């Protein structure tokens, strides 16, 4: 009888893509494995997971806002409905192991799974544990983490330092430069700055790039710019107004391996997925941590690289004045780029997804 694994979590690309990477690795370990995803209704996993070839079922769960909000009134009702639906799903699918990657949906699913005696594994991407995973840790059998020092949040005996799971095509990005240039319509004779704000975009980064379009164009560089859907029209208008034809804006870039392949320097938020991808793609990076991330975990992620001279940091508050200037300075400094590239590559864990998959399979009864 084939093994059955249920994977839950989502909300952002930082949760979804590691989950998909784990699923791919499980299939490579054992092609007969049956995998079902559980996400939150209306969140981006409901579109991204089927695109990757997996079935997904949504729970009506929502996040509990930290500020006073009318949305919190519905939280107990939606949590109860999610717990009941999770129990029904688990009874129907009968998984051997339940895996949680963080995000709204992983809480109800893994809580009910553990109460039903199903072995659970949680994967924490950040250097500061999320509240859902901290609550689930007591009942989890195994906790896979990406950073040292996570004993501050989890029982030490359960921790496995595996790194963050990243799609295998990111590891192979360096071999695809010619393909990437053709795909994005870029010029092989010019250096490329790749700007990304995460799966949902980043207002501060977008506004800083918009303000610096003329400088970037005048410097002779080309820019590959992922804006997020909310900013794409503004970005395209700004490019047209600045007559910055070498800046190419996209709402979302699915072919991240090609984006990394063509990049000489990357500007990015400091979510765990982005940091892990930068390590494996070995790209000089300027990180702009999202200041409103829970417990300021993006700054902690970024500082784990900065302390090892593996990336540069520009704060969100200073991005408007410093980000484009810092990018131009780094683009023009081959020695610094080489130093950052070498140091960030040493931090990569290319086998993280398979290491986590093996930990999952160890829990199969």
Distances (CA, A) of 137 to 145, 153, 273: 12, 9, 21
The edge-to-edge listing of strands for the beta sheet with 222-226 is 247-250, 222-226, 192-196, 265-268, 285-287, 312-313
**Contact, 12 vs 293, CB < 8 A?**
no
Q: pLDDT tens digits for 193-223?
A: 999 976 566 899 999 999 999 999 999 999 9
pLDDT at 103: 81
Same domain? 127 vs 58: yes
3-state secondary structure of 46: helix
pLDDT at 68: 53
3-state secondary structure of 287: strand
Same domain? 91 vs 73: yes
239: domain range? 169-345
Same domain? 135 vs 269: no
3-state secondary structure of 121: strand
As beta bridge partners, residue 6 has: 36, 98
pLDDT at 336: 98
Distance CA 108, CA 85 (A): 9
pLDDT at 314: 98
Whichever domain contains 159, its CATH number is 3.40.50.2000
**Contact, 133 vs 125, CB < 8 A?**
no
Same domain? 266 vs 311: yes
Same domain? 304 vs 356: no
Q: Residue ranges of the chain with pLDDT lower than 50?
A: none
Angle, helix 272-281 to helix 297-306, in steps of 10 degrees: 20
pLDDT at 15: 85
Domain count, the chain: 2
Same domain? 261 vs 217: yes
Distance CA 150, CA 195 (A): 30
Q: Which residues are annotated as a binding site?
A: 12-14, 126, 167, 199, 253, 272-277, 298
Q: Which residues are annotated as a binding site for UDP-N-acetyl-alpha-D-glucosamine?
A: 12-14, 126, 167, 199, 253, 272-277, 298
Same domain? 129 vs 10: yes
Same domain? 155 vs 185: no
The single-letter DSSP state of residue 308 is: T
**Nearest C-alpha neighbor of 148 from the set 289, 316, 10, 308:** 308
Q: Which two tokens stand for residue 347?
A: 């931090």
Same domain? 190 vs 306: yes
pLDDT at 362: 98
**Nearest C-alpha neighbor of 13 from the set 76, 94, 92, 101:** 101
Distance CA 142, CA 70 (A): 36
Same domain? 152 vs 74: yes
Same domain? 199 vs 307: yes
pLDDT at 26: 97
3-state secondary structure of 247: strand
- The model carries a pTM of 0.83
Same domain? 52 vs 178: no
């Amino acid at each position: 009888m084939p093994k059955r694994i249920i994977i839950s979590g989502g909300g952002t690309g930082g949760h979804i893509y590691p989950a998909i990477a784990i699923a791919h690795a499980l299939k490579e370990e054992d092609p007969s494995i049956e995998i079902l995803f559980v996400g939150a209704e209306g969140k981006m996993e409901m579109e991204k997971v089927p695109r990757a070839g997996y079935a997904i079922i949504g729970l009506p769960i929502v996040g509990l806002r930290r500020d006073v909000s009318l949305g919190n009134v519905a939280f107990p009702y939606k949590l109860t409905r999610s717990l009941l639906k999770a129990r029904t799903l688990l009874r129907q699918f009968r998984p051997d192991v339940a895996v949680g990657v963080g995000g709204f949906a992983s809480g109800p699913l893994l809580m009910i799974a553990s109460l039903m005696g199903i072995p659970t594994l949680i994967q924490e991407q950040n250097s500061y544990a999320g509240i859902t995973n901290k609550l689930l840790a007591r009942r989890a059998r195994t906790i896979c983490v990406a950073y040292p020092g996570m004993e501050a949040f989890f029982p030490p005996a359960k921790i496995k330092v595996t790194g963050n799971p990243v799609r295998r095509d990111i590891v192979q990005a360096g071999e695809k430069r010619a393909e990437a240039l053709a795909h994005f319509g870029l010029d092989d004779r010019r250096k490329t700055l790749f700007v990304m704000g995460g799966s949902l975009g980043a207002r501060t980064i977008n506004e800083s790039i918009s303000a610096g379009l003329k400088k970037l164009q005048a410097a002779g560089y080309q820019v590959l710019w992922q804006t997020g859907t909310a900013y794409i029209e503004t970005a395209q208008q700004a490019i047209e107004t600045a007559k910055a034809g070498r800046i190419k804006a996209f709402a979302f870039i699915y072919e991240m391996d090609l984006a990394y392949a063509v990049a000489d320097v990357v500007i990015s938020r400091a979510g765990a997925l982005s940091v892990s991808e930068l390590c494996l793609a070995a790209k000089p990076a300027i990180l702009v941590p999202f200041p409103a991330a829970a417990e300021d975990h993006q700054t902690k992620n970024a500082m784990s690289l900065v302390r090892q001279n593996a990336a540069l940091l520009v704060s969100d508050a200073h991005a408007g004045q410093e980000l484009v200037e810092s990018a131009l300075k780094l683009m023009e400094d081959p020695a610094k780029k080489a130093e950052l590239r070498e140091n960030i590559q040493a931090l990569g864990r290319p086998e993280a997804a398979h290491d986590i998959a093996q930990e999952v399979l160890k829990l199969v009864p």
